[in-house]
Amino acid sequence: MALDLPALEQQHADFIKAGLKLDLTRGKPSFEQLDLSNALLESIDASLVSKNNDDGVDLRNYGGVNGLKQSKVWFADILGLPTAQSENNIFVGGNSSLSLMHFSLWLAFFIGFRDNTASWQQEAQEKNSRVKMLCPVPGYDRHFALCEQLGIEMIPVALTGSGPDIDQVQQLVSQDPMIKGIWCVPRFSNPTGEVYSEATVTAIAQLGKIAGNNFLVFWDNAYAVHVIENDAPVLSNIAEKAAQAGCEDSILQFASSSKMTFAGAGLAALASSQNNIQAFNKHFGLQSIGPDKINQLRHTQFLPSIEAIHQHMAQHAAILKPKFDTVDQILKQELGQDNNLGKWTKPTGGYFFSFDSQQGLAKTIIDLAAEAGVKLTPAGATFPYGRDPNDCNIRLAPSYPNLEELTLAMKVFCNCVKLATTKATI
C-alpha cells in the first residue's frame, strides 16, 4: 500500500488541532456496563443479613473469614468446579483478585505457601540465586509490577495464539529450579485475547511434576465468563487435569466479579487444593476480620445462579461487541489486512486487542497518538520491566469510551500507525 506522507501529516495536524481527549489505556467497564448492576445499590432487608445463618454468622458482624458458603458456590460455578468442592477448595474475599494474588505471592516468597514448603526467598539464598517466574508475553502489567516489587526475575515466554509455548516453558522449568511460578491469563488473555488450548492447559497442570512442589501456577482466570462472541473457545478445567496428575497443590486459580458487576466493589476468589486453601486461610486470617459478607450476599442475590450470570454477561457482551467490531473494522479499513502495517486478532471475549506494529514503531505510534489526544497504554507495558524487545506491541482497550469516541480514537490511532510506518520506510 503506497501511503501519502503529506496527507497523513495533514490529517495528524488536524487531529491535534481538534484538541481531542480520548483514552484507550485501561480495561475499565463503561458507564453503561456499570448500570447493568445497579440492582446492587438497592436496599437489603435487615432480616436477611442479621438472620442469615451461613455458619450462624450475622453478616454485619465479624467472622466468616474465608467467605460465605453461597459465595463459594457462586465462584465454583464460574470456574467450573464441583459445588461439593466449594467449601474446602475456595476462599472468597472482597475486591480484588489482584490483592489475593499479591498475598499469595508474598506468602510463597517470604514465608512459604504451605507449612511443608520453604519460602522462595530462603531457597534462593541457599542456592545463591534469585527467584524467577515465567511471564507469557505480551501480558498483564500488574502481574509484572508485583514481581518487580519483590525483585523476582521475570523470564518472558512467547505466546502462540493458544497459550504459552509449552516446549519453551518445560525446557526452562527443567533447567532452572529457581523458576518458581508462571503467570497465566488462560481465557481471553490480557492483551492478546487468546484462549489456552486443551493441550496447553494439560501441560501447565502437570508442570509441578517437573518443577517440584514449591512451584505455583498463578492462573488468573479474570475473564472466565466474559464471552463476547458465541463461538468463543471454552477453557479446559485445569483443576481436574492437575488432580489427575497429582499436581493440585501447584495451581492457584483466581477469579473476580470486578468486570461482571461493579469494578470497584466486587468479590474475588482463590480456588486451589484443600492444602493450599487451608494454608491461605491460616495466614490470611491473621490479618483479616473477614470479608464484607453483606456485599457477598448482594452478589449472590443479584445473580442467583450460573444461568443468571451468563445472561448478565450476555448483556455486557451486547455493549462490548459493537465496540470490538468497530475496532476490528476500522483497523481493517484503515490498515488493510496485508500485515504490512500491523497485525492483530479479533478476540472472542475479554477486554483487549493486542496490536503489533512493525518492529521498532510502538513507542513512536503511542507518542504520536498522545500528541493527537489519544492516550494509549505506554509502550512496553505488556512486557516485564516495560521492555518490549521488538518495540511493536500496543494494547488497545475499547471498553470504556462510547462508540463515537472509540471510532474517532481508532481513526487517530490508524493514522499514527500509517504515519510512523511511512516515515520509517522512507
Per CB under 8 A, residues contacting a copy of itself are 26, 28-29, 31, 34-35, 37-38, 41-46, 49-50, 58-64, 94-96, 98-99, 101-103, 106, 110-111, 142, 145-146, 149, 258, 262-265, 283, 286-295
What one-letter code names the amino acid at 224? Answer: A
Q: Of 177, 174, 172, which is closest to residue 156 (Cα–Cα)?
A: 172
The rounded distance, in Å, linking the Cα atoms of 215 and 213 is 6
Residue placing its CB nearer to a copy of itself in the complex, 288 or 315: 288
* Share in percent of the chain as helix, strand, coil (round to 5): 45, 15, 40
Q: How far is the CB of 306 from a copy of itself (least distance, A)?
A: 23
State the minimum distance, in angstroms, from the CB of residue 188 to a copy of itself.
Answer: 18
Residue 244 CA to residue 389 CA, distance in Å, equals: 38
Closest approach of a copy of itself to the CB of residue 98, in Å: 6
Single-letter amino acid, residue 32: E
Please state, in angstroms and as integers, the Cα–Cα distance from residue 254 to each residue in 53, 98, 221, 320, following that order: 27, 9, 6, 23
Smallest distance from a copy of itself to CB 44, Å: 5
Nearest Cα residue to 154 out of 172, 171, 170: 172
Q: Give least dist CB 43 to a copy of itself, A.
A: 4
Cβ(248)–Cβ(81) under 8 Å? Answer: no
Alpha-carbon torsion (104, 254, 157, 393), positive or negative: negative
Nearer to a copy of itself, 121 or 202 (CB): 121
Residue carrying C-alpha cell 511471564: 135
How far apart are CB 21 and a copy of itself at their closest, in Å? 12
- Look at the block and give the residue holding cell 444461568: 307
The burial of 349, by beta-carbon neighbours within 10 Å (0-12 exposed, 13-18 middle, 19 or more buried), is given as buried
Residue 244 has φ and ψ, to the nearest 5°, of -60, -35
Q: Which is nearer to a copy of itself, 14 or 35 (CB)?
A: 35
Q: Which one, 15 or 284, has the nearer CB to a copy of itself?
A: 284
Q: How far is the CB of 62 from a copy of itself (least distance, A)?
A: 5
Using alpha carbons, list the distances in angstroms from residue 166 to 136, 137, 163, 197, 240: 10, 13, 8, 11, 19
Would you say 210 or 313 has its CB closer to a copy of itself? 313
Supply the DSSP string of 10-31, one letter for each residue.
Answer: HHHHHHHHTT--EE--S-PPPH
Least gap, CB of 102 to a copy of itself (angstroms): 3
Instruction: CB nearer to a copy of itself: give 26 or 312.
Output: 26
Cβ proximity to a copy of itself: between 149 and 359 the closer is 149
Q: How far apart are CA 257 and CA 268, in angstroms?
A: 6
Rg (CA), the chain: 22
CB nearer to a copy of itself: give 204 or 216: 216
Look up residue 376 and give its DSSP letter.
-
- Spatial contact of 415 and 12, defined as CB atoms under 8 Å apart: yes
CB of residue 305 to a copy of itself, shortest distance in Å:
23
Closer CB to a copy of itself, 2 or 286, in the complex: 286
Instruction: Indicate the residue among 81 and 265 with the shorter CB distance to a copy of itself.
Output: 265
**Residue 141 beta carbon to a copy of itself: minimum distance, rounded to whole angstroms:** 11
